[in-house]
Amino acid sequence: MTENEKYLFDLTGYLLLKNVLSPEEVGLANEAIDQHAEGIVERVGDLSLSGGSAALQGTTGRGDLGGMLGWERPWRDPFREMLAHPKIVPYLHQIIGKGFRLDHNMSLITMRKGAEGHTLHGSSGPEFDPHQYYVFRDGSMHSGLTVVSWQLADVGLEHGGFCVIPGSHKGNFRCPSAMKQYEINQEFVKQVTCEAGDVVIFTEAVTHGTLPWNADHERRSLLVRYSPGNLAYASGYDWPDAMREGLTEAQRAVLEPPYHLRLNRPVVETSE
């Protein structure tokens, strides 16, 4: 992680990394998703995410798809390669610390034209959230739950999708409800534009959400959440056999349950 990147992540709470995946790798991941597209669940009715906001409402819900780490070969391979990806691990070591672990299952967000947004949320202020936090101490960044969002489709200006209030991970006051609803002060909310193959890393402490999707093509962002090795946000880390079978050493290390680094916790090796 360069000094420039450290500065930007600390300043804003997120970082955009360009061209992490090649067009061929993006193509393989999208083909695998196409093969399993019948499993996509659109969040309508009680599962709606727009929270009654007029500014975030849509004509349909966000699509969710999970389980890709346990798919049959070759479909699972592109997603397993993302788990402990050599281009991403150095960032996670800096932001979360060595011994970071997968928290939550990997999940794909899809959005068709007209899909509603997701109210802004995040854990900064006023109370300290011991699972989702961002602190800077003794010269290092420390983020609790942290998201690596792999972009499998382009996101242009005005398309919608992921948005963030840069710097809000250091906020001390509660974000006003109308701002979480994207109904006031929209000029402080940044829609993050990116291309297929890019990666957005963000701390769950930063206030973030989703703007309604306006593009003709489908949004596809794969969210992978990690926590420090000692910490769990989600309750389920007894991963199913289909997900564990055939993993590499590095991938297995990321699936370890939470416990102290001192107790022989495996650490993903890098050339850092």
Ligand X SMILES: O=C(O)CCC(=O)C(=O)O
By CB under 6 A, name the binding residues for ligand X: 109, 118, 149, 161-162, 208-210, 221
Q: How far is the CB of 259 from ligand X (least distance, A)?
A: 26
Q: Cα separation of 213 and 62, whole Å?
A: 9
**Nearer Cβ to ligand X, position 133 or 162?**
162
**Closest residue to bound ligand X by CB:** 210
Helix, strand, coil shares, percent, the chain, to 5: 25, 25, 55
**Nearer Cβ to ligand X, position 209 or 228?**
209
Q: How far is the CB of 88 from ligand X (least distance, A)?
A: 17
Are 258 and 230 in contact, with CB atoms under 8 Å apart? yes
**Nearer Cβ to ligand X, position 55 or 267?**
55
**Nearer Cβ to ligand X, position 71 or 162?**
162
**Nearer Cβ to ligand X, position 59 or 248?**
59
Q: How far is the CB of 181 from ligand X (least distance, A)?
A: 15
Q: Which of 20, 44, 56 is nearest to 199 (CA)?
A: 20
Q: Which of 101, 23, 106 is nearest to 70 (CA)?
A: 106
Are 88 and 225 in contact, with CB atoms under 8 Å apart? no
Q: How far is the CB of 209 from ligand X (least distance, A)?
A: 6
Q: How far is the CB of 265 from ligand X (least distance, A)?
A: 27
> β-strand 208-211 against 41-42: which pairing, if any?
unpaired
Strand partners, 137: 140
Q: Cα separation of 20 and 111, whole Å?
A: 22
49: left (phi over 0), alpha (psi -120 to 50) or beta: alpha
**Nearer Cβ to ligand X, position 203 or 221?**
221
Q: How far is the CB of 139 from ligand X (least distance, A)?
A: 29
